[in-house]
Structure formats: structure tokens, C-alpha cells
Structure 1
């Protein structure tokens, strides 16, 4: 066994869905599974043991052990052969899971936890980890289509290269094909040299479309040779990136995006496209930071 998949557990329905997804990931990877609960109450000096007047099974410590036991049972129903461990770490969830990500190859979280407000579509823990985690982060929003492909958003940037690498490796693990989607508009496409020097800003739409198709092909170069068993469909869409990826997620098993892409502002750890996917995608979303910004 090699590698480690970490999943955040807080007892919510969302985190139990994340546990199931994490158990499958650990099984595919031949990795161990670590169930992590961030135990904030000791830092607040709250008594952890049961009250003398309460039932024997009462108390915060017993409550945590019960929710972890439930999570482990859920994981074993999905992947009975996976090595499962538990960790109760004192601290705030964002800090605890970010620290856990340093030793993991993947961190899995639910889109909403126990502290989420009604109507909030994705929790702060998921957004924070996608921006600051030291490994790829899988956010389980809705269950994807069981027979769907992996959709990866490709923009040709160095920051997005990690997402392409992750998508191919994940497709090989799952035995799936990939839809490599690149969306462009005249506003976000790099302008090629003008064909008519008298009209320096004029380019035929066909020329832009052809250039964007080449960009997609170049971004995928070498991956199909490394993963010959993964079928790839190239999809170039003239339209908004967010809208195209959200629509593609309807029939996907997993959506993979980079944390930042072309046009991202320096210092902005999580781009607008990846944030939009975390809020609106119709399947689980993997956010992959570029090698320059992660471990």
C-alpha cells in the first residue's frame, strides 16, 4: 500500500457522502484512508467527558467516537479491503485539514458541513481547502452520473496543467474516458497576429477558432501516449467557460479544474471559474493547484 486519502468527517450527511467517495478513491489508488475530525471543543475549554447526571454514552468525546465509527462503517461498506485509520485533531477544521493535506495525495470533503447555513451552496471549508490545500481537493457536491466521463477544463495555462495531469491519472484509475473541454470567447482568447496589417485588431472568427483548437491539442500533448487506455474527446466551445463547464457537468462522473487559470490575478489562489464550479457543478469537483503553488 502506498499513499493516503484524507477525508473530513463532521457527522453531517454531506461528510458521509464524502467518506464514501474517499473510500472509493483509496481503493482505486491502493492507498490508505484516514478519517479526520477537527475537535474544536478542547481549545474552548469545554468539558469533554460525560456529565455525572447524564447517560454513560454521553459527552463530547463519546459523540466524536460514535460519528467516526459510523463513518468507518460507511467506508467499509464501499471498500471493505481499504486500510482505515481515524484521527481526532484539536483545532479549527480549515487549519486541521490544510495540515493533513501535506501528507496526503488527495483530500475529500463534503460541500456543506454541520455549521453550514441553509441556502449556502458550498461551505467555507471546501473553498478554503481548494485554495490552500497542499494536494488536490475533491469536493463532493452531487453524485455524478455513474456512467459519465471525467470532464476536465483546459485553458492552456501553466496553472491549469496540473488539472490535466490529474484528470488523466484519475481516468486511468477509474477506467473512464475524458472530455477535454476548452471554452473561449473573443474577450478571453489570446489575439493572434492580424492577417491584415491595415486592420490590426481584425481577425476572422475561423482563425480564432482554429487557434483555440490547437491550444487544446497542445495542452493535451503527451498525455494520451502516457495513458493509452484513456479515450479522449476534444471539445472546443465558443462561449463562456463557466456556463460550458456547468452544462458539461450534468453528464459527468467528475469535473476537474485548476485552482487558477489563464487571466488569473497574481496572488489570487482560487480563480472565479473554480469557485463557480464549487457552487454550481452537478457532480463532484476536483480542484488542482499548479505545482508552483502546492507541495
Structure 2
């Protein structure tokens, strides 16, 4: 079975991400791999005996971080299959390599190397942007089960993958799924698409309601056990989803939606909710 990967660095945010990943692995009956990444030069044999002592101490510190994360995961989910791993390299690159064959990859918002005041660190952004599997960023929040998952719907391929992931999560957790499609005006669907200068708001609202229903139809059939609350809401997607996340256990969005610039791996809505959401955020990439 595919593993869930979680990155740890000994910081409290990374340990909270480990708690979340352990609970998720237990729900899905999947193994969990706790990964700590150290600078690659620590695996090179230094000529200076003094440097060797420092190297050995730093490697031991890293092993202690792995052990701490693995022990925390086992405490959070007794009986869970947990593997600890320390490796050398750049943290984001190491996590992304392991994400190629993973069920999902989980990080905290920022770790020990993050600049004070930053809401989101570079590792979390890079992993969320490039991960081939769902990437979950666990923001610090009050630990409470709200019984709801929120998913952003937009009619894009990545949005469709996000809907599928959200339905699966809601089914596994046995919670309600709130599917939100936010709209403000007609959206370009590709290069050369001419947008009207004047449009009928009621007709557009009806079109968005139709898109929402069509986007959910197949998944509702596949997951009849999931209670779905759909809503097409007039407003900017990032604001609508961030506000809804205040009452959610998880917010799920596609990596890039309608109207996004070709070539962008993570769209503006994904970036915004990673910074503004009140709960963990899952970024899901569409199939190539």
C-alpha cells in the first residue's frame, strides 16, 4: 500500500503535521513515513577529526528528531505502521522524491529555518506547488472536529481531481462535504477566449449552478454515503473558501483552476488559501 509521507524538523508545527498525518494514515489504514532531511555534507567524511565530532553530533540530533516524530505518530495512532527516515539533501526536493509513489505528502506551514513572521515557509510552498500526489499543509489551529470538509469547485481538470479527493476524504471520515463554486464574472477558458463586456448576472448564476451540479454528479454516484451541501457563491474564490475553512476540518482545492495562466503549477487561489485558511489545506493536482 502507498505511504503517507510527513516531513519533520523538530519544530512544533512539524509535530502538529505529524499528528495530522498519523490520524490520516490510521483512517486510511496506510503506513506512515516520517522523514527528516539534513544538509548533504553531513554524509561526507570530513578530514578534520573536530569536524567529524560535529558531524556525528548533528546526525544524532537528526536521528533524535526522527525518533521523536515516529514516537509521536505511534502515540497518536497506536498500532499504526510507522517508519522513520533521515536523509541528506534539500528538504523540499527530498520530500518531493518520496511523494512520487506516495498516497499524500504532509508538511507544517514552516519549520525551524523559517523567517519569523512568515505565514508559510519555502518548503511548504515548494511541496504544495510541485507534489505529484495530494499535498497537505497543516496550519496550527484549535484541535476540534467540525464534521465538514470544504472543496473548491471550478470546472478545471485539477478541480475535478480535488473533488474526487474531497469525496474520498468525506467518505473515510464520515463527515459532510461542502462543495463551493465561487464566481464574479465570466471566466476565460483558454487563449483567445473573448469575454463579454456586458452579461446577464442571473443567466451567469444559472450557468455556474449547472457547472457545479455537473461537476459533482459522477462523484455523488460513486460516493452515495457522502452528504453533500453544494453552493454557487458570488464572490472571489480565495475569500469564499478561506471564510468557509473556519468551520471545516480540511479545505481541498485544485492546484490551478479556470482562467489560470498556462504553465503555472499553483494558481492564485491555491496560494491565497495556503496563507489564509483556518484549517489544513490539501492541494490536489489534476491528471496530466
Moved over 2 A (4+): 41-47, 142-145, 187-190, 200-204
Distance 1:261 1:73, change over 3 A: same
Unaligned runs of 5+ in 1: 191-199
Match of 1:38 in 2: 37
Q: Does 1:128 align with 2:115?
A: no
Superposed, 1:60-139 pairs within 5 Å as 60-139=58-137
Task: Give 2:285's match in structure 1, choosing from 277, 283, 289.
Answer: 289
Q: Kindly provide the CA deviation profile for residues 137-159 of structure 1, in whole angstroms up to 9, marking residues without a partner as x.
A: 01001336412410000001122
SS at match of 2:269: helix
Q: Distance in 1 between matches of 2:152 and 2:284?
A: 11
Match of 2:193 in 1: none
Match of 2:245 in 1: 249
> Which has the larger displacement, 114-123 or 200-209?
200-209
> Which has the larger displacement, 99-108 or 138-147?
138-147
Q: Kindly provide the CA deviation profile for residues 162-216 of structure 1, in whole angstroms up to 9, marking residues without a partner as x.
A: 10010001111111110000000125387xxxxxxxxx75432211111110010
SS at match of 2:36: strand
Match of 1:193 in 2: none
More helix, by proportion: 2
State how many pairs are aligned. 280
Superposed, 1:143-292 pairs within 5 Å as 143=141, 145-188=144-187, 202-292=198-288
Q: Distance in 2 between matches of 1:38 and 1:267?
A: 29
Q: Does 1:27 align with 2:10?
A: no
- Normalising by the residue count of structure 1, what TM-score does the alignment of the two structures yield? 0.89
Q: Distance in 2 between matches of 1:99 and 1:272?
A: 25
Unaligned runs of 5+ in 2: 190-195
**Pairwise CA distance, 1:41:** 4.8
Superposed, 1:40-59 pairs within 5 Å as 40-42=39-41, 45=44, 59=57
**Pairwise CA distance, 1:68:** 1.2
- Normalising by the residue count of structure 2, what TM-score does the alignment of the two structures yield? 0.91
What value does the CA root-mean-square deviation take over the aligned residues? 2.4
Task: Give 1:141's match in structure 2, choosing from 139, 142, 145.
Answer: 139
